[in-house]
Chains A and B, each alone.
Chain A
Amino acid sequence: MRRVVPFVVLIAVVAVFNGWLDQRFYVRVLTLSVVWALAGVAWNLMAKAGQISLGHSAFVGIGAYGFTILLRGGGTSPWTGMAIGMGVAAAVALVIGLPTFRLRGFYFTLATISFPLIMELLVSHYGDPELTVPFHPESEWKFMEFSNSHTYVWVGLGMLVVALAISELIDVTSFGFALRAIRDNEVLARAVGIRTVAWKSAAFMISAALSAAMAVLWVKAVLRVTVAEEVFGITVVIVMLSVAFVGGVGQTWGPVVGAAFLIPLAMFLDDSIGESVPGAQELVYAAALVLVALLIPRGILPAIEEGCRRLAAWPRPSLEHQGPGLLGRLAAPPPRPSPLLRMPRRPLRPKLPQPSGTPVLEVDGVAKSFGANRVLSDVAFRVDPGRRVGIIGPNGAGKTTLFNIVTAHLRADSGRILFKGMQMDRMRAPRRYELGMSRTFQVPQGFHLMSPLDNVVVAAIGASMPDPMAASMDMLERVGLAGKALGELSALTTAEIKSLELARAMVSEPDLLLLDEPLAGLNEAERARFFETVDELVAPHAAIVVIEHSVRSLIQYVESVVALDECRVIAQGPPEEVVSDPRVIEAYLGSRWMEHARDQ
């Protein structure tokens, strides 16, 4: 219900303006506001995953040229042309996206700029830099040739509503969770089974198709001629960026707010002083970008939400807390779990069966170098079902690198990783997670803009749990974080973050749990409690591998220990044997202290 209200408001507002405004210029302003809102919604789909694309004019250009060429060539209806253009744009997005999504942050943004530039140059040089759209008055609807300019607004509104509905649907399904997880922490997302490239490609393709659709409306209703410099031009991207960032980047309704505010402002300014000030329209977008960057980098909508929250907390609650006043409750409703619409999903992939007699994990002859720096050399050990193995070694011995290779965050130079007897070399991180591997991180990782509950839900979605929300809430209860499930991640203490890491790693019910320095930063009582919690959560047949510097705590917990030093395994076996092995003592204390220890 809460999600329907904005749609009703949008349709009502556009309808009122469309019925009321009569002058041609005003109708044009309304049309362009709708067109750019649509473009912004399309662009924003990528921004949901934190990907800032400066290349969307490639898809606008494809849409515009596609339908114009088809219309000129065979008199194809612009509607058919739109559908074909959307398909081509989506296909191009897939081709562009697959290599480009490997690039993170700046590199992605930089790479996207070049595509429309290349297309514009090629089209202008080898094709036509300008194509007029032929006039087909014989059928208004078939050729989108409306004599009443208000009709374009209705058509645009229809397309905008569809685009917004798609965007909303993405928000409330696992698609949205995956995109938000990628935005917050891509490495972690892959570690909890989110197939980042697939999700990003899907978002990019939908975004590209909507951009191509917008182009047809833009050309038909406003431009009436397809110019390469315009439809492939950077200005398209700048307007998309402006409306999206002003309203709220990544927010479904952001571009609508941004366009409603910016497009009329820019056009009225251009109309009144455009004669003497030629760049007035662009200056509005430029000023908006600069002001948003400096004042409200996440946009108007999140800023309003934040304002409401402040309002709710004002006046400051007295010592006897009365709860927020009526105004406060209206302005900022209590936090609730992010909605997750359950979609028909592929059946849960069965985990690998555990053949009897094979170890859960077998590391065989693994070697890894970073450039000339050797980190691991011929490392081999095995972990049987239900066993707990510790890995010790001085800093820089290669312990975390070993974990990264086991979970496919790094690729080994040589050697094999066998999981339940199956060779893992070709499997990427998300697949290994699905098959039953799970880990925590030395530096605790999180999806920073998501609640603790959502952090776990992402991992449950990654493991294709039948009911991710319930499984996650249950897991948070078991680690004692139920009370903070909907709070902010930054409000958690170190011990709570460690518990959250554990909940996230355990929600998939893994058969192999890799814990990377779980005790770091915990006090004595918390340390004792931590391994108890682990044992409560882990299934009896599952194996646990722990990296830990606190050898004393570790040897009380594990049944065997692997000691690494200078990239090799120097000892392995029962804990007491390994820690009294002279080579291990030497590795930890140095040879001078060895002699000292022997003297005693």
Chain B
Amino acid sequence: MVEFLQFLVPGILIGGVYALLASGLGLIFGVMRVVNFAQADFMMLAMYLSWALFAGGVGLDPFLAVPAVFVLFLVLGMAVHWLFIRFVIGKRENHDAQVILTIGLGLIFQNLILIRYSSEPRVVAPSYANAGDFIGDIFISRVRLYAFLLSVLVAALLFLFLNRSRTGRAIRAASENWEAATYMGIDIDRTNRIAFGVGVALTAVGGSALVTFQSITPFVGFRFVVVMFAAVVLGGLGSVSGAFVGGVLIGIIQSVSQVWTSAAVKNVWVFALFLLILYVRPNGLFGKVQRAI
């Protein structure tokens, strides 16, 4: 039982971060029906930014850098939407173009970082990196706890933004039915741009939270992209709150699987679950039932 809890608690903590990463992806899909394969590479960029701010002389703590990361990636996301994404949104036949465009953008980010920083793994180790507290027999790493708390806080702010602000409501309306939203006078292009920016920024903040216990390489994103998709699909593609719950579940499964199998194959369980959900409940655990035609 203790062994189980020793895996369960870190699972919940990392799951919170996955949840934040996935909610960004879920928001973007929900609003503009774009599956963004570059999402995890935005996370990778944010990790490098946090590393640069920490190790590059400024010595800024990655958790304190979060507001700056959020704002920068909000702008970056909106710019990427304006420069690229908006041209492939909408029509059904654009599906292929969305896939290859976002894969291509992700590859460009990876290789630009590779050129600039090489493939050497980078680590961000603040003074409290190895600190932690025991609750009973269970060790709780401080950085993981902070990362979890940060994720919950950002999720709460996202919830407030989507429910209380005018823009947030416009985003939700567009996500529900973008055609009807345009009839209500919502500027769909602007809403998409903001949603893309916010989605990217959420994932970027998730990256900053990860950076204290996850080493960084230009290709770190790929390991996360399927985890993020799994979380989003688990919660129901397009649902932000579903993506959040899905993220926590994925974290738990990934961690608890180590009771039975080696840590090296923990992601096999995640991918298998991902497939299972796709086959059995493609609308997610909490998704709505759709009409066939």
Contact = CB atoms under 8 A, between A and B. Distances in A.
Interface string B101-119: 1011111101110110011
A238 interface: yes
Contacts of A292: 100
A447 interface: no
Contacts of A241: 100, 103
Contact of B274 (A114, A280, A297): A114
Nearest to A246: B100
Interface stretch (A118-126, A251-259, A346-354): A118-126
B114 A278 contact: yes
A187 B271 contact: no
A194 B254 CA distance: 41
A111 B111 contact: no
Q: Which 9 A-B pairs have the closest CB atoms?
A: A279-B111, A289-B104, A286-B107, A293-B101, A290-B104, A114-B271, A297-B97, A293-B97, A279-B114
Given A241-B100, A286-B108, A289-B101, A102 B279 contact: yes
Given A105-B95, A107-B278, A279-B114, A290 B265 contact: no
Contact of A238 (B87, B103, B267, B274): B103
A315 interface: no
A283 interface: yes
Contact of A121 (B88, B104, B264, B291): B264
Contacts of A105: 95
A482 interface: no
A205 B102 CA distance: 28
A304 interface: no
Given A109-B99, A114-B275, A290-B105, A121 B118 contact: no
Contact of B115 (A238, A278, A286): A278
Nearest to B273: A114
Contact of B103 (A287, A289, A294, A297): A289
Name, among B88, B104, B289, the residue most crowded by chain A CB atoms within 10 Å (CB to CB): B104
Contact of B35 (A106, A288, A289, A410): A106
Interface string A86-113: 0000000000000110110111011101
Contacts of B35: 106, 109-110
Nearest to B103: A289
Nearest to B35: A106
A279 B265 contact: no
B148 interface: no
Interface string A403-431: 01000011000000000000000000000
A105 B290 CA distance: 15
A187 B92 CA distance: 15
Given A106-B35, A106-B237, A278-B115, A289 B279 contact: no
Interface string A247-279: 001000000000000000000000000000111
A370 interface: yes
A293 B108 contact: no
B107 A289 contact: yes
Interface of B: 35, 84, 87-88, 93-101, 103-108, 110-112, 114-115, 118-119, 218, 222, 226, 229, 233, 237, 262, 264-265, 267-268, 271-272, 274-275, 278-279, 282, 288-289, 291-293
A469 to B, nearest CB: 27
B292 A279 contact: no
Interface in A372-407: 404
B28 to A, nearest CB: 13
A100 B275 CA distance: 9
B101 A117 contact: no
Nearest to B102: A293
Contacts of B119: 278
Contacts of B275: 111, 114
A525 to B, nearest CB: 31
A218 interface: no
Given A245-B100, A294-B84, A371 B108 contact: no
A293 B88 contact: yes
B84 A290 contact: yes
Contacts of A106: 35, 95, 237
A370 B202 CA distance: 35
Contacts of A109: 35, 99
Interface in A159-191: 187
A105 B278 CA distance: 12
Nearest to A244: B100
B229 A110 contact: yes
